[in-house]
Amino acid sequence: MVADFEIIPAIDVLGGKCVRLTQGDYARSSVFFDEPAEAAARWTELGAATIHLVDLDGAREGRPVNLPVLRAIRAVTGATLQYGGGLRDDDAINAALDAGADRLVVGTALIHAPDWVERLCQRFAERVVVGIDARDGRVAGDGWLAASGLTILGAVERANAIGVRRALFTDISRDGTLEGPNVASLRSVVAAAHFAVIASGGVASVEDLVEIRRAGAAAAIVGKALYSGRVDLADAIARLRATEGAGERC
């Protein structure tokens, strides 16, 4: 069990709106907030210390697109903002920082430009979050649209070698499905990693969050379960805090 386990709400932005995709499919999106800043304010009010912001347009186009949304969210919350989507060169990194990002999420670059990611890690340390996004055992990039030849454990080994401090592991097949996390894959990642692991994909209940914590993850991203009302953020934070050091039943 990991002490100080964190629940991180996700805000996925497509066309300037807060949406959720199913299994990373851009054609299967549901809009939950026309103004993503409203979602950020809500999750902050309910106790979120960190918010995970995904620029879906940026991930697909290879450059940040929704920086105005990042700025608007920065204006309404003091939470740590974890931003990704199209961060593939120094100009994109600097633009995200200027717009208010606290952490920088890079995924495709781990596949195609690991030397650059290593330099980022040397420069920003724990502010860099490497995305390991997997489908059928292989890591996907370019907004999850392109499969690579890199295996999950191959990506973990690469991240270990370049000094990654924090990484986000997503099972794409579970993302947005409310079918529960892939705990077996998560355990294998945690066992091999020399860094803190954030889990993502499939969370549907507080019990799922307990399982993720038990698997050794430092945090979990929660998206559709929050927007659909399956998980109440304030209640989930309180219940997980109550179980720290006192067994794992919720």
Eight-state DSSP code of residue 145? T
Q: What is the pLDDT of residue 3?
A: 61
Q: What is the pLDDT of residue 135?
A: 85
Q: What is the pLDDT of residue 175?
A: 74
Helix axis angle, 67-76 to 90-99, nearest 10°: 30
Residue 249 lies in a domain: no
Residue 239 lies in a domain: yes
Which helix or strand (DSSP H or E) is residue 239 part of? helix 233-243
Q: What is the pLDDT of residue 132?
A: 94
Q: What is the pLDDT of residue 145?
A: 66
Residue 52 lies in a domain: yes
Residue 62 lies in a domain: yes
Amino acid at 136: D
- Where do we find the tokens 């991203």? 221
Spatial CB neighbours of 247, under 8 Å, sequence gap ≥ 6: none
Residue 43 lies in a domain: yes
Q: What is the pLDDT of residue 146?
A: 65
Q: What is the pLDDT of residue 155?
A: 94
Q: What is the pTM of this model?
A: 0.92
Spatial CB neighbours of 111, under 8 Å, sequence gap ≥ 6: 139, 141, 148, 150, 155
Residue 214 lies in a domain: yes
Choose among 66, 63, 44: nearest CA to 53. Answer: 66
Catalytic center residues? 12, 133
Residue 237 lies in a domain: yes
Task: Measure the CA–CA gap between 104 and 159, rounded to whole angstroms.
Answer: 15
What CATH number did the domain enclosing 101 receive?
Answer: 3.20.20.70
Q: What is the three-state SS of 47-87?
A: CCCEEEEEEHHHHHHCCCCCHHHHHHHHHHCCCEEEEECCC
List per-residue pLDDT tens for the chain, 250 residues long.
566 899 999 999 999 999 988 877 888 888 999 999 999 999 999 999 999 999 999 989 999 999 999 999 999 999 999 999 999 999 999 999 999 999 999 988 898 999 999 999 999 999 999 999 888 888 887 766 667 778 999 999 999 999 999 999 998 888 777 888 999 999 999 999 999 999 999 999 999 999 999 999 999 999 999 999 999 999 999 999 998 765 555 4
Eight-state DSSP code of residue 248? S
Contact yes or no for 178/228 (Cβ under 8 A)? yes
Residue 250 lies in a domain: no
Q: What is the pLDDT of residue 247?
A: 53
Q: What is the pLDDT of residue 1?
A: 53
Beta bridge partners of 200: 170, 221
Which is it for strands 128-135 and 138-141: parallel, antiparallel or unpaired?
A: antiparallel
The residue range of the domain holding 92 is 6-243
Question: Domain tally for the chain?
Answer: 1
Task: Measure the CA–CA gap between 186 and 215, rounded to whole angstroms.
Answer: 7
Choose among 235, 215, 242, 223: nearest CA to 9. Answer: 223
